[in-house]
Amino acid sequence: MRYSQVRAFHAVARDGGFSAAADRLGITQPAVSIQVRQLEEGYGLVLFDRSGGQVRLTGAGRGLFDLTSQMFQAEERARDFLAASKALETGSLTLAADGPHVALQVVAAFHGSYPGVRLSVSLGNARTVWNEVLEHRVDAAVLANPADDGRLRVVPLARQDMMVLLVRDHPLGGRPRLTLAELRDQPAILREPGSNTRRILDRALAGAGISVRPVLELGSREAMREAVAMGLGIGFLFERECVGDERTLAVPLAGLAASSLDTLVCLKSQSRRRAVAALIETARAVGRANGM
């Protein structure tokens, strides 16, 4: 039994004639007839009733057609599987993030599994990243504390504590933990309105009836860290954002432990794409590694 003979038989049985089968296979009608005849002669079977100008399956033909249908369906599934796998050997994804630390953990995990897929990451504040997702400008985003929205698929990645960032010789630096009350009237460097850090801090201060003394408003974590290091005031960052500068130290802020939830978000309509689905599975693995 040759594959070409089985393929010709299956095409004739499926399409109801030799001419239609030839068109589907891209070969001549005589070539199809020869392949089917050789199959019949090789096994001593009559697979088609050719009387009356029509081509109908015999009993043996129907039995074989059931088997070849399963065979070619399996072949099609295998082809789909291989094509899907190949699609992740190359390609690209665009990712937005409101902070680099958790986002790059996801990127590193994804790159380890799919090194041929290029990931482009843009950074912005929470409001900007939210809009980029909803306006289809990126494939997915790493975003803290996203609002409930039925259009989005959300995967938890990590929880983070809010920290008070101090210049290393600050009088409050010796405390294992600081309360909001201890920060009353302190000169403070704040993130811009709309940032995740600013939203959480403002809500906590308002709930406690406490105010700090804003001296500077900055649009990036790096600028805040530099301003704190220069002694301009205290700052507020999440725990993963505080490392890497010996001029400053970070003290946990009581009542704001695990106050920020980093997530991977994408539009549900995007999640059916093979590459985005792989990114979601990667994010789930990262979340499990972070205790989510």
Last residue within a domain, chosen from 86, 107, 136: 86
> How many domains does one find in the chain?
3
Q: Do 22 and 34 sit in the same domain of this protein?
A: yes
- Type of residue at 285: A
Shared domain check, 221 and 77: no
Helical residues (DSSP H) of the chain, grouped into ranges: 3-15, 18-25, 29-43, 59-87, 100-113, 126-134, 196-208, 221-229, 274-289
Q: Are residues 237 and 174 in the same domain?
A: yes
Tell me, what CATH number does 107's domain have? 3.40.190.10
Task: Say if residue 143 is in the same domain as residue 285.
Answer: yes
Task: With cut-offs at 50, 70 and 90, classify the pLDDT of residue 272.
Answer: confident
Q: What is the pLDDT of residues 5-37, one digit of tens each?
A: 999 999 999 888 999 999 989 999 999 999 999
Q: Domain span at residue 32?
A: 3-86
The helix (H) or strand (E) run that includes residue 277 is helix 274-289
Same domain, 79 and 224: no
Question: Is the domain of 12 the same as that of 98?
Answer: no
Q: Which amino acid is at 79?
A: R
Domain stop point among 24, 58, 86: 86
Q: Are residues 127 and 272 in the same domain?
A: yes
Q: Which residue has the tokens 């009608």?
A: 29
Residues written for the chain: 292
Indicate if 239 and 285 belong to the same structural domain: no
Q: Give the Cα separation of 257 and 254 in Å (integer).
A: 7
Which residues is 141 bridged to in the sheet? 96, 265
How much is the pLDDT for 244?
82
Could you give the CA distance from residue 290 to residue 288 in angstroms, rounded to a whole number? 5
How many C-beta neighbours within 10 Å does residue 59 have? 11
pTM over 0.75: no
Residue 89 has pLDDT above 90, yes or no: no
Question: Which residue in this structure is represented by tokens 């249908």?
Answer: 69
The first and second tokens of residue 128, run together, are 């900007």
80 and 166 both lie in a single domain: no
pLDDT of residue 84: 64
Question: Do 187 and 252 reside in the same domain of the chain?
Answer: yes
